[in-house]
Amino acid sequence: MSFFTRLSNGWQISMNSLQVLKENKQLILFPIISGISMVLVMGSFLLAMLGTSSWNFDLIESHSDLYFIGFTLLFYLVNYFVVVFFNVALTHCTRMYFHGEEVNLKKGIDYSMSRIGAIFSWTLFAATVGTILRYLQENTGWLGRIIIGALGLVWSVTTFFVVPVIAYENLGPLGAFKRSAGLMKQKWGESAGATFSFGLIQFLATILVAVPLLLLGMAIHPVVGIGLGLLALLLIMAVFSAAKTIFVSAIYHNINGDPVQHFNDQFVENLFVQK
């Protein structure tokens, strides 16, 4: 299959993913709840850091490296856990939709609870990797920062399919990482095409929706403008976060031979045939 064919496939799947979301608008609640939870987590950790610094910003930097390593590890662990938990729930609801079942948010949450051990073990592994990369990036020269930044990009790419692997395969963290990397190797073109597609449409949505709302609100009051702009931006981010998860789920289930209904039948039938 040629590179441009893969890119085209990625575009088509991304459009179908948005269509699935349009037909199941409640799925957007998962990234919204996840986003709200992440804001609360960040606020809690900021308060904790200030509390251990006698509520003085100037004293934050006086803590030891061990303190910052431990704090970063714990923050990444909680943050990643929230994200993966709700993405697993969304992935399962997507699978229910693919199988023609009624989508139910509670069933998605319940399924994530049933996979809580796998989710925690992965997030602990990912948080450890993230903490190491962050520490090295902040304590090396400019060349080291470039190298570590590249490694971070590789990590992001190779873990592209890790959520459905965690959701449906009984693998440890390292096994899940290898499995995701293998899936990415098979479908890198489609993934690149979808990433570009989602990025382009999200950019256009920001220009056509968030910016006008910002300007409209500014005509009333600056606070109103900022509020409307932020709300529109957060909603756009939630929509495309959900669509991306649907895309990943569609690719994963097709690779594993599971039926994916409600996508274009002929397209799905020919999509995964190696040419």
- Among residues 71, 114, 111, 84, which one has the least CA distance to residue 95? 111
The terminus-to-terminus CA distance of the chain in angstroms comes to 4
Cβ neighbours of residue 75 closer than 8 Å, sequence gap 6 or more: 41, 45
* 189 touches 3 (CB < 8 A): yes
- Gap between the Cα atoms of 151 and 134, Å rounded: 11
> Given CA atoms 96, 101, 107, 111 in this order, what sign does their dihedral have?
negative
pLDDT attached to residue 203? 84
Catalogue the E-assigned strands of the chain. none
- Among residues 263, 252, 239, which one has the least CA distance to residue 167? 252
Q: What is the pTM of this model?
A: 0.81
- Gap between the Cα atoms of 259 and 253, Å rounded: 7
Give the Cα-Cα-Cα angle 149, 127, 56 (nearest 5 degrees).
Answer: 90
Residues lower than pLDDT 50 in the chain: 264-275
* 155 touches 173 (CB < 8 A): no
* 260 touches 99 (CB < 8 A): no
pLDDT attached to residue 3? 54
Cβ neighbours of residue 44 closer than 8 Å, sequence gap 6 or more: none
